[in-house]
A and B are shown apart, each in its own frame.
Chain A
């Protein structure tokens, strides 16, 4: 059986062989240029309740099945109707995103998922990471895309703002840089001056020995190499002066670092950012200011709005695409803890200066009718309409300029998903 850690084994063997010598890296980074397009992947961890983010506020079943969690129709931020005629509204906290939607730069893609959706956080995350529901081990979909770029690759070709490398970024081609804190991304020494310089040179040399007979050691060596090769360029991002005040929380600070990396021209193709707390089994509280889901939406809105405005002010908006996902949506009916349990299909967002905004896909009908084709699992969950790999395919083909068939291992292109 597969488990969430099975992918580790694949990763070890692979990238020790093809990793580039770090000497050439900064030149390569410059050659890739600050003006190239980039993708920012946003992981809403825990399983986002799409029905509270994009509310079907005219569906009576939404109100009957969520007696405490439903958001009053008068409170939602109306965004019009989708192609099926269903009226929809954003969560009341998403005021900034509503503005971006009105500017035509936010796409909301409904009912995204896959057949037999996993209700396990870890299995589900692995599936979204590898884009392979039948074998969720192995390298990630972003990592496989990176491996199609001309070698050798700079570790800053991807920039992960979290501590651990996300499964989606595991690549056979490169150990991507993980930079949870720009200021903490430094080499310190017990000594100072020339002794510290000697030590840094020695550490770099030590890491350059990659033992071919010990892939586990080689893996760590390449990570040290990548760290040493990226120190100075990451430090330069620390001097970035944003044009707006970002929220001081981790999500806001991570987005500021990403904007800084774009502005400083690190050559990064894919950024990874996440914000958590979406596993709202209990006290989800979608309506009061201190409620769990209200705070989640506040964090999301404030961070993304600052990011959008900063990029706009910096003239970087057109080269950036942000894509959000979550490992699954949530159960339609609320549970006895005023929360929602694990469900299936949910909403993805795409945001950026080149996005064709609007509502994509159609909302589910929430009526608990056994014949209702938009639901599954005895009408408990939302059935997917758009395969998540079709969304990935659009991004790979039409934004990153890659070949989605090769990266995803099949043709998932779907007409109508022309959000970018």
Chain B
């Protein structure tokens, strides 16, 4: 493969979910910087992917009754997987996934409070398809995926699912609730070590009265929204260990309760512009897009953090800078990032094929691999990297590869038919179709497997056995678990 194609493949694996052969061909006509522009400026591309759900030529879905992605959790998960496989805005889906992990909110707690289907609505409903124009948290993240981080923080702080998840709905004057204030500083902005316990208590008081206006839990068309309850706001001053205002002042002044919502806005404004936040976010993006094994390059982190601050916390220019950095384009980092389970599934589908396969089939395996969408294990999101690869989780990946290869056996055999002259030619076909760097000893094992058993004739039956067998072995190899 030419160097340019290798770089393009890397970009599409990292900034998206890999590429089908058709997508690769389409991007190949662009220069690298044009490809980055196309990915980053995705709002110029119409977002019509959902209209293809259920149409031939696309990966399928499975539902009990009508497909209901706004109200049924498994259908919402399938819609998202469908988007990962087929969206023409792959970076938007990738960043939505990044934020879902960053602001990790678990559906089960939300549903526990508002019942079904309202829990799914609060997490995943598309506003235009919802009877009350309720926008689910994932849609909020998708809408703001590369926009202002400060705006995203405010929206998340006022998001009904988040108000339930981190108990903001019960944050009152009499008993300030610390959960959101703590995680705002620990996980969303400054990070552990950059705030004190007193800051947590102060932040809890800042957000007193930032509550939920509940809907009717027994009515699937009712509306849930943020409300500022002035009579529940604690109005005294709040002092932090870090600056809140540009003059260096660390104290949010005492305000009338009616104006007290500004406390929270002031705190979020301050936190979003702190250099600690900028560096933490830059480091997270580095780990997600560049490398989680190599220590972050301090120059690049500084560069990204500066870009973030200079652009008033807007993420898009940070990503543009990141994708065009030499560190991102360094071939030594290709195929070094541990693939998340949904990345593995989406890429396997894009490279193996999907005709006649349903993403519903992937849901149980994804849970076994350790990633159930909409249900991160806790507020810090999934444990990434090496921790995806326990023995049980690895078997789940291998077995998903087996199920997909079995499902695709006829189309794989047909596609490999031109290589039926020898078992080794079929190996070469499979290794070329699935983008992966395999060392010689692995390649030799594949060749030995292809040649083992019945003597090679290249019959249809043999192609239908060995081609899916080889695809399974490659999808289950250690090398394929990296993007």
The answer to whether B387 and A336 touch across the interface, beta carbons within 8 angstroms, is: no
- Please report whether the interface of chain B is mostly helix, strand, loop or mixed according to DSSP: helix
Cβ–Cβ contact B392 & A177, under 8 A? yes
Residues of B contacting A165 in the complex (Cβ-Cβ under 8 angstroms): 387, 390
The 0/1 profile, CB within 8 Å of A marked 1, for residues 342-384 of chain B is 0000000000000000000000000011100000011110011
Distance in Å: Cβ of A29 to nearest Cβ of chain B:
15
Q: Is A220 a contact partner of B452 (Cβ separation < 8 A)?
A: no
On whether A281 and B179 interact (CB within 8 A), knowing A121-B380, A184-B368, A187-B399, the answer reads yes
B449-A227 in contact (CB<8A)? no
A370 at the interface (CB under 8 A from B): no
Question: B180: shortest Cβ distance to chain A, in Å?
Answer: 10
Contact with B along A155-191 (1 / 0, CB 8 A): 1000010011100000000011111110011111111
Decide yes or no whether A275 CB sits under 8 A from chain B: no
A281 adjacent to B167 (CB under 8 Å): yes
CA distance A180 to B473 in the complex (A): 23
User: Is A249 positioned at the interface, with any CB of B under 8 Å from its CB?
Assistant: no
Contact present for B368 and A199 (CB under 8 Å): no
- Closest A residue to B402 using CB positions: A188
Whether B445 lies near A220 (C-beta < 8 A) is no
Q: Is the CB of B370 within 8 A of A164?
A: yes
Are B170 and A223 in contact (CB-based, < 8 A)? no
* A1 adjacent to B292 (CB under 8 Å): no
User: Is B151 an interface residue when CB atoms closer than 8 A count as contact?
Assistant: no
A292 to B25, CA, bound (A): 54
Within 8 A of B (CB), among A225-252: 226-227, 230-231
Taking a contact as CB atoms under 8 Å apart, the answer to whether B405 and A224 are in contact is no
CB-based contact A2/B394 at 8 Å: no
Question: Do the beta carbons of A5 and B383 come within 8 Å of each other?
Answer: yes
* Chain B CB within 8 A of A195 CB: yes
Report if B139 contacts A (CB, 8 A). Answer: no
> What per-residue 1/0 map shows which CB atoms of B436-466 lie under 8 Å from chain A?
0001011001101100110000000000010
Asked whether B182 lies within 8 Å of A119 as measured between CB atoms, the reply is: yes
Q: Is the CB of A206 within 8 A of B477?
A: yes
Distance in Å: Cβ of B199 to nearest Cβ of chain A? 12
User: Once bound together, how far apart are the Cα atoms of A201 and B448, in whole Å?
Assistant: 11
Measured between alpha carbons, how far is A18 from B86 in the docked complex, in Å? 43
- Stretch touching chain A among B129-137, B154-162, B190-198, B267-275: B190-198
B476 CB-CB contact with A under 8 Å: yes
Q: Which residues of A contact B293 (CB under 8 A)?
A: 9, 12, 215-216
**A190:B469 contact, CB within 8 angstroms:** yes
Whether B178 contacts A342 by the Cβ 8 Å rule is yes
Is B336 an interface residue, CB under 8 A from the partner?
yes
Chain B window 157-181, contacts with chain A (Cβ cutoff 8 Å), 1 for yes, 0 for no? 0000000000100111011111100
0/1 string, B194-235, CB within 8 A of A gives 1: 100100100000000000000000000000000000000000
A227 touches B386 (CB 8 A): no
B388 touches A336 (CB 8 A): no
B residues in contact with A202, CB < 8 Å: 445-446, 448-449, 452, 473
| Residue from the list A181, A223, A339 in contact with B391, Cβ < 8 A | A223
Q: Which chain B residues lie closer than 8 Å to A226 at the CB level? A: 391
A304 → B minimal CB distance (Å): 22
Task: Report yes or no: B197 in contact with A224, Cβ–Cβ below 8 A.
Answer: no
* Interface range for B: 35 or more
Q: Are B370 and A163 in contact (CB under 8 A)?
A: yes
Inter-subunit contact B442/A335 (CB<8 Å): no
Interface check A102, CB cutoff 8 A = no
Let me know if A21 is at the binding interface, CB within 8 A. Answer: no
The reply to whether B478 and A11 contact each other, CB–CB distance below 8 Å, is: no
A120 touches B445 (CB 8 A): no
CB atoms of B469 and A341 under 8 A apart: no
B167, B398, B479: the one within 8 Å of A203 (CB): B398
Chain A residues, CB < 8 A from B409: 190
What B residues does A199 contact at CB under 8 A?
449, 469, 472-473
Whether B393 sits at the interface, judged by CB under 8 Å, is: yes
Residues of B within 8 A of A279 (CB): 378
Residues of A contacting B386 in the complex (Cβ-Cβ under 8 angstroms): 8, 11-12, 216, 219
**In the complex the two chains form, is B442's CB within 8 Å of A206's CB?**
yes
Interface contact B175-A335, CB-CB below 8 Å: yes
Is A4's CB within 8 Å of the partner chain B? yes
Judge whether B188 is part of the interface by a CB distance below 8 angstroms.
Answer: no
Instruction: Kindly state the separation between the CA atoms of A9 and B384 in the bound complex, as whole angstroms.
Output: 12
Q: Are A217 and B479 in contact (CB under 8 A)?
A: yes
Residues of B within 8 A of A185 (CB): 391-392, 395
Given contacts A8-B387, A186-B399, A202-B452, 7 further A-B contacts (CB under 8 A): A5-B287, A5-B383, A187-B395, A216-B482, A223-B389, A335-B178, A336-B172
A-B pairs, 9 with minimum CB distance: A336-B175, A178-B390, A337-B170, A190-B406, A202-B449, A220-B478, A227-B391, A190-B468, A221-B478
Would you give 21 A-B contacts (Cβ < 8 Å), ordered by A? A4-B380, A5-B292, A5-B384, A5-B385, A9-B295, A119-B197, A163-B393, A165-B390, A177-B391, A190-B409, A195-B469, A198-B469, A202-B446, A202-B448, A206-B477, A217-B479, A220-B478, A220-B482, A227-B394, A281-B178, A336-B172
State the A residues within 8 Å of B (CB): 1-5, 8-9, 11-12, 45-46, 119-123, 155, 160, 163-165, 175-181, 184-191, 194-195, 198-199, 201-203, 205-207, 209, 211, 215-221, 223-224, 226-227, 230-231, 279, 281-282, 334-337, 339, 341-342, 377
Interface residues of B (CB under 8 A from A): 167, 170-172, 174-179, 182, 186, 191-194, 197, 200, 287, 292-293, 295, 336, 338, 368-370, 377-380, 383-396, 398-399, 402-403, 405-406, 409, 439, 441-442, 445-446, 448-449, 452-453, 465, 468-469, 471-473, 476-479, 481-482
